A and B are shown apart, each in its own frame.
Chain A
Amino acid sequence: MTLTIILQLYVFILAGFVGFSILTRVPPLLHTPLMSATNAISAISIVGALVVAGSRHSTLTSILGFVAVTCATINVVGGFGITDRMLHMFKRADTKTAGDAP
């Protein structure tokens, strides 16, 4: 058990470092999509919600699980949806840019 905890802490710290070093390189241009993207990804707590909703421990936990699955699904669908919509709009100028300078 203790070994598992230590491994989990390793994963947490290393993932934090990976996140920090990748995300500091995201240009300011994409900071809004970045926020909605990390928001969508954190909806991964749906995985925990699914287990609670499907385990039949008690009626109360099942209902809590149902609400949790609903909320997490809203987060997944809404988060990835709006991120995709925003990123779709970022377009480069067509090739003429190079010839623009007088």
Chain B
Amino acid sequence: MTLSTLIDAAGSAGAGALARTLLTQGSYFAAAVFFILGLKSLTKPDSARRGMQQAAAGMLLAIVGTLIVNEIVEYQWIIAGLAVGSLIGYPLGTKVPMTAVPQQIAVSHMFGALAASLVGIAEYLHRTAPDATGVAGVIPRFEMGALGFEVLFGSLTVTGSFMAFGKLQEFIPGRPLTYPGQNAVNIAALAGTAGLLVYLVFDPSAAWAFWTMSALSFAIGISLVLPIGGADMPVVVSLLNSYAGLAAAATGFAIGNTVLIIAGALEGAGGFILSIIMSKAMNRSFGNVIFGAFGTPPESSARSTAGLSVKSISAEDAAIQLGYASKVIVIPGYGMAVAQAQHTVRELAELIEKKGGEVKYAIHPVAGRMPGHMNVLLAESNVPYDKLFDMDEINDEFATADVALVIGANDVVNPAAKHDKGSPIYGMPILNADVAKSIIVLKRGMAAGFAGIENELFYDPKTSMLFGDAKTSLTKLVAEVKQL
């Protein structure tokens, strides 16, 4: 499939084979172009859907182009695989609810990485198998290295993604599961796999090393993700995204296929960028997320809120504030999504707009369960995307807002992040809700947020608390605003 095989094909099998090889390579080239254009289209929401449909067409083209390669001599396994895969994949693409998108992506990574690992394993078996004269095949060093990387990253991503899926779906405990010396065990296992990989490069015929490395990689995926808490899963999923890409790129090196190298590099870069963004937004370093569960929890010296009191407000009064406001900024948190209150929020916003007010949504990077998740949930309930603003775009506007309406969000609006050096969330970028003229917080009760710390915003004299289930409160607000 590379240039050299192209020339071989021309020499040995004649013009027919050459034409087919050219067609295959042409389809790969087109696919690579469509993939890059598809990702580029994601920089603008208007063009995004069309661009990704073209990328899907590129994928189809590459599949068809592969079906005509000379190596393929039988089709029953291929057809069966395509059929079974489509049957399972279709509901995964069309039926999964939007709140479960993070799990869906974790499962998708798992399947993609499993495919890459199995290709690597099959390739190793085939190329070390004895030929007709009984001489075992020898894999060149570079290709052995690529194969090894493919299996290593692939297997690690398979089990790691499964663990992430389990934690997000909550059939595996979300809390960090640790045991003493875990860090040392993980590092030793990683060093062991790396050592075996190097050994394989020098002696590709060492099957024992190959199988030990594969098994070890599967185990590492489990033990790396197990100690990471459920709330940090977004970073893990982004990181596994990157690993899955590297596994695909390694496959490309191993079998000499350029489109795999390109697509793998694209995904590797994408996952890497997203993991950095997520870590920053959560105020954690990359290493802290991965190995954080082993450290002692930060001493919480957050200021005591004893003696301060919160002001509670009735739905009626809150509705009056909202109804006559000229600018309202809504801050949605995952609590809103859990209560399935997105549609009611949009209804309320439309009523305020009808009364002449302006409504904008401020989205913190970690709102929801993965980067950008909250935007998807709001878009699903028909909130136009040009009203959704990310933190940097909207933070300066809070000063001019009459009401900041906080729905099911907590730590991302805690001003302690800005000034209280003793607070565990000190330094985390937050939404400046505290500078709005008034703040209304919809909250179930006075429980602390995920970080387990008190939120001083709730004790601010400008803040009013509307207690109760988010959806019930919002429904009441809608009814009250209607009557104004």
Contact = CB atoms under 8 A, between A and B. Distances in A.
Contact of A50 (B39, B67, B264): B67
A13 B31 CA distance: 18
B140 interface: yes
A82 B108 CA distance: 11
Contact of B89 (A55, A74, A90): A74
A68 B115 contact: yes
B85 interface: yes
Interface string A20-61: 101111111111111111111111111111111111111011
Given A16-B269, A49-B119, A84 B71 contact: no
Given A82-B93, A82-B101, A93-B387, A41 B43 contact: no
A43 to B, nearest CB: 5
Interface residues of B, number: 121
Contacts of A90: 45, 48-49, 375, 379, 385
Given A8-B258, A41-B267, A45-B112, A76 B89 contact: yes
Nearest to A67: B118
A78 B89 contact: yes
Contact of A32 (B94, B101, B265, B273): B101
Contacts of A44: 31, 35, 59, 62, 248, 259-260, 263-264
A81 B94 contact: yes
B49 A73 contact: no
Nearest to B372: A31
A36 B40 CA distance: 14
A89 B379 contact: yes
Nearest to A5: B142
A8 B412 CA distance: 44
Interface string B53-76: 101100100110011010111110
Nearest to B47: A87
Interface in B372-419: 372-373, 375-376, 379-380, 382, 384-388, 390
Contacts of B55: 37, 40-41, 80
A70 B251 CA distance: 17
Interface string B338-380: 0000000000000001001010000101001011110110011
Contacts of A18: 36, 266
Given A4-B2, A45-B260, A76-B89, A22 B267 contact: no
A82 B92 contact: yes
Contacts of A56: 73-74
Q: Which 7 A-B pairs have the closest CB atoms?
A: A81-B93, A73-B85, A69-B81, A77-B89, A31-B372, A54-B72, A19-B269
Interface of A: 1, 4-5, 7-8, 11-13, 15-16, 18-20, 22-58, 60-94, 97, 100-102
Given A40-B108, A54-B72, A73-B85, 20 more contacts: A12-B261, A12-B264, A24-B273, A28-B390, A32-B370, A35-B372, A36-B104, A40-B52, A49-B81, A51-B66, A51-B71, A65-B78, A65-B81, A66-B77, A73-B81, A73-B86, A76-B59, A76-B85, A80-B55, A100-B353
26 contacts: A5-B142, A8-B256, A8-B258, A8-B261, A15-B261, A18-B36, A19-B265, A22-B36, A22-B43, A26-B39, A35-B241, A35-B372, A37-B52, A42-B244, A48-B119, A52-B118, A61-B126, A65-B81, A66-B78, A68-B118, A72-B111, A73-B89, A74-B85, A82-B94, A91-B384, A92-B45
